[in-house]
Amino acid sequence: MKRMKTLTSAALALLLAGCAVGPTYRQPAVATPPAFKEADGWVAARPADAIERDRWWALFRDPLLDELAPRVALSNQNVAVAVAAYAQARALVGQQRALLLPALNLTSSGNRSNIATAVTPTQRVRVDLGASWEPDVWGRLQRTVEAASANVQASAGDLATATLSAQGELVTNYLLLRQADAQRQLLETAIADYERVVTITENRYRAGVAAKTDLLQAQTQLATARADHAGLASQRAQLEHAIAVLVGEAPAAFSIARRNDWQPTVPEVPLLLPSELLQRRPDIAAAERRVAATNAQIGIARSAYFPSFTLNASSGGFGGSVAGLLASPTSVWSVGFALTQTVFNAGLVKSRVQGAEAAYEGEVARYRQTVLSALQGVEDQLVAARVLAEQEQLLTAATDASRQAQQQVLNRYRAGQVSFLEVVVAQTTALNARRALLQAQANRQVAGVALIQGLGGGW
């Protein structure tokens, strides 16, 4: 017992003196510019006007959108997959931490035997309580816990990314649905105008003051507008179906009522510094945590160069029956340790270390590429927002001019001063200008959603 105590004390001393092998983790350096290139002339909202980060869609000022967007985090099945992956990663941390502590095992056995010369058979009942522990002398288990913890944080980033992506998709689809409603309303107004023109042209044709080609052109224009209206109905239905799936419902049980008073709102977005994306973007955070996890794997691989220790102890008793075991058992105990050291494995450990180091370098490259892609995405949306704002102004002026031209040409046609072809051209030009304006407004909204996502979802 004295010798065993000495060995146990020595093992504990090794445990206390031990340290985790492998490189100490340092976040990889990433060069970020001092400002965004495409932010020149950007007019951003003041910080006091910012909305909560987890309710960024409220910037579009739509009550139904405020109701639908939060449902993504609760009911979307792709987000549910990410939630399950996060829970699995957390459970793995608990498993790894459990290995740091001793394990206790209770075993019991009983047998009855006899030999040919014996008068009566013999029986034995035994109960043992055993303990085993692998002291983490070289920090292998500690590195394992570090890797598992980093993977939990990476999984949390994946969950936030999946949620933000699904919410952005829902907001985009909803805005496009409302834009389809506005386009349909515009076409309905145009169809009503075209129907009046067909009536006027038909009357002129019957009076003998207009050619039949005029009537045919008017009818063609009306039929084309009606066909476009039907196509928008199909597009709207598909967007509605997509929104239903995003909120976790079957399309047959979900519908969005049409709104004829909807006006597009383009939010003002507070602009962050490029360096702030490293803390705000969940995909960047997840990539950085995976670098930390692979760094810990290097230490786990290097620990195989060193011997492993296992301490074992057991205590129990046996007797000829259960009653005898409880009354006066014969006690047995044991204490021991084991040391294992690989002497030759043909470079297996070295290859594993090299593989872990290569995996680390790969994750560093992925992390830096994720940062660069994030910076590119923000720059793209900044220039898109600026150009689309200019286009909207120009298209607004074009719409006003084409509306006036349409009315003047129609009045001249009624007076017999111009051919019907000029009426068709003026009406088509006016309708296309109004539809282009609506499309530009919708594009500005979609670019706003993409910019908010690029900045990490709110601010």
DSSP letters spanning 154-173? HHHHHHHHHHHHHHHHHHHH
Q: Please tell me the distance from the alpha carbon of residue 410 to that of residue 428, in angstroms, as a whole number.
A: 12
The 122-133 sheet, strands edge to edge: 103-113, 122-133, 308-319, 330-340
Give Cα separations from 439 to 231, 384, 445 (angstroms).
Answer: 16, 14, 10
Q: Please tell me the distance from the alpha carbon of residue 28 to that of residue 30, in angstroms, as a whole number.
A: 6
User: Using one digit for the tens of pLDDT, what is the confidence trace for 326-373?
Assistant: 666 667 778 888 888 888 888 888 999 999 999 999 999 999 999 999
| Of residues 320, 330, 322, the one with CA closest to residue 122 | 320
Residue 12 in this model has a pLDDT that exceeds 50:
no
Neighbours of 192 (CB within 10 A): 11
pLDDT for position 343? 81
pLDDT for position 283? 92
Residue 39 in this model has a pLDDT that exceeds 80:
no
| Of residues 169, 15, 156, 14, the one with CA closest to residue 87 | 156
User: Using one digit for the tens of pLDDT, what is the confidence trace for 136-154?
Assistant: 778 788 888 888 999 999 9
Q: Please tell me the distance from the alpha carbon of residue 126 to that of residue 133, in angstroms, as a whole number.
A: 23
pLDDT for position 314? 81
User: Mean of the pLDDT values across residues 368-397?
Assistant: 92
pLDDT for position 46? 47
User: Using one digit for the tens of pLDDT, what is the confidence trace for 213-230?
Assistant: 888 988 998 999 999 999
Tokens 């834009």 label which residue?
179
Helix (H) or strand (E) holding 317: strand 308-319
pLDDT band at 41 (very low <50, low <70, confident <90, very high): low
Domains in the chain (CATH in brackets) are 2-23+38-104+124-454 (1.20.1600.10)
What is the overall mean pLDDT for the chain?
A: 84
Least confident stretch, 46-50, 275-279, 306-310: 46-50
User: Using one digit for the tens of pLDDT, what is the confidence trace for 182-215?
Assistant: 999 999 988 998 898 899 888 888 888 888 888 8
pLDDT band at 436 (very low <50, low <70, confident <90, very high): very high
Query: What residues contact 293, with CB distance under 8 A and at least 6 apart?
Result: 146, 147, 148, 150, 151, 154, 363
Least confident stretch, 236-250, 266-280, 353-367: 266-280
| Of residues 279, 265, 246, 264, the one with CA closest to residue 455 | 279
Residue 49 in this model has a pLDDT that exceeds 50:
no
24 or 318: which leads in pLDDT: 24
Residue 48 in this model has a pLDDT that exceeds 50:
no
Question: What's the CA angle centered on 154, arms 92 and 134, to 5 degrees?
Answer: 35
pTM given for the model: 0.81
In this structure, what token pair is assigned to residue 427? Answer: 């009406």
Neighbours of 416 (CB within 10 A): 10
| Of residues 238, 240, 234, 224, the one with CA closest to residue 187 | 224
Q: Give the residue ranges of DSSP H helices in 207-340.
A: 212-246, 277-280, 282-302, 322-327
| Of residues 402, 346, 370, 178, the one with CA closest to residue 282 | 370
Residue 235 in this model has a pLDDT that exceeds 60:
yes
* DSSP codes joined into one string, 81-119: HHHHHHHHHHHHHHHHHHTTS-EEEEEEEEEEE--TT-S
Q: Please tell me the distance from the alpha carbon of residue 260 to that of residue 305, in angstroms, as a whole number.
A: 73
